[in-house]
A and B are shown apart, each in its own frame.
Chain A
Amino acid sequence: MQTTGKFFRRLPSMIRFWVIAGSLLLFFGCAADEVCEEATANNLRLGFYLLGQDDSTWTVIDSLRVFIPGEPKTFLYENLSEVSVLELPLNINADNSAFVIDFFHVKDTLWFNYNRETHFVSVECGFTMFFEITDMTYTTNHIQHISENITYVTNSLDEHYKVYITPAIGID
């Protein structure tokens, strides 16, 4: 208690110093350092897993490509290699998107329906689009099953769907 009392008695002489020093520290500490690119990136994320095996770790796809149905030459990704998480940009001008994942020699198509929400990120960065997936369907040529994880697509780094494939496609 005596030490505490001594501290409080000495405090007035320190006040003037801390009023100046503290204000400078706080001012620079509160400086905004927003990165707009990260704040406005809002892709749908699919994680790949081997069916029937531990789904706490991803599997790795040798290579794949992604295009839009009906536009097989307009590639979203032309040759992605060593893929464990695939990021897909949902169409910001429509309430649905579809993607063909070409595992080379075999393809699967995924359809997403969603609600769009214009989200105000910040004065500096402006606006971005958030999505709430309402419905999702897919073919099962090589994809065996897809489980829903999070249906709200924002600028966080969430994995939205778990995609289970046959062991023949994945390599550990």
Chain B
Amino acid sequence: MSIIKYILLLPLALISLQVQGSSDTLFRPALRIGLDVGGFARRFVEPEVMMSEVSADVEWRRGFFAAAEFGLLHIDVEKETHRYQARGNFFRLGSDFNILERNPQSKHDVLLLSVRYGFGWMEHEAPFIIISDPFWGDYESLVESEKYRAHWLEAGFGLRTELWNNIFVGWSLRGHLLISRTREAEMEPHFISGFGRTNGSTSLLLHYQIMYRIPLR
């Protein structure tokens, strides 16, 4: 639990740094809305998995972003040995902090540290399962549709640059740590909506975003 404590303390430490260094009176708060195209790119690696998401963040103080993300997961794979289907949604709430000194020529370019809380809910099923053994033959089974929920924390870093006229591109890499999930599920999902591929209670996700910035005043 000490890791979670430090993740929660990080925003406070960074806010205090921002307050000390906020002498720019020309700062204008801005809303940025975006689309994560990492999910589309991931289809080249795992064509059966579709996870898409939209995001929004508000830079309410220079270098300090409040962020929200919402997305959905869809998996439908049919092979000789199994069929697996999953549908789910998720949201994440958190903050990004720019640790880069602003350059007048590229004043919106940022190097971000990110923290998030995430919640994902999904329904999945395996209408047919065949496990083959060369000696014992085939075992046939199925898992009926069941609901699955998970809560997690994320921390990571990323880069974002203005491509052209308030249009931004950037990527971020975030580690995830499950803090709770549905207990005694008949089938543990391989891919949790919003969390990604499970590896015990951790995962790593790459986000590749295209965003549009709307100055607020």
Contact = CB atoms under 8 A, between A and B. Distances in A.
Name the interface size band of chain B: 35 or more
A contact residues, range = 20 to 34
B135 A31 contact: no
Majority-rule SS of B interface residues? strand
Interface string B59-95: 0000000000000000101010110100000000000
Interface in B125-171: 126, 129, 131, 133-137, 139, 141, 143, 159-161, 169-171
Interface centre among B45, B75, B77 (most CB of A within 10 A): B45
B81 A127 contact: yes
A38 to B, nearest CB: 15
A126 B111 contact: no
A92 interface: yes
Interface stretch (A4-12, A53-61, A105-113, A145-153): A4-12
Contact of A129 (B99, B102, B139): B139
Contact of B82 (A5, A18, A30, A127): A127
B159 A118 contact: no
Interface of A: 5, 8-9, 11-13, 15-16, 18-19, 22-23, 26-27, 30-32, 40, 76, 89, 91-93, 118-124, 126-129
19 contacts: A8-B101, A12-B101, A12-B106, A15-B109, A15-B110, A23-B208, A27-B41, A27-B208, A30-B206, A76-B135, A91-B136, A92-B131, A92-B133, A120-B188, A120-B189, A123-B46, A123-B77, A127-B82, A129-B131
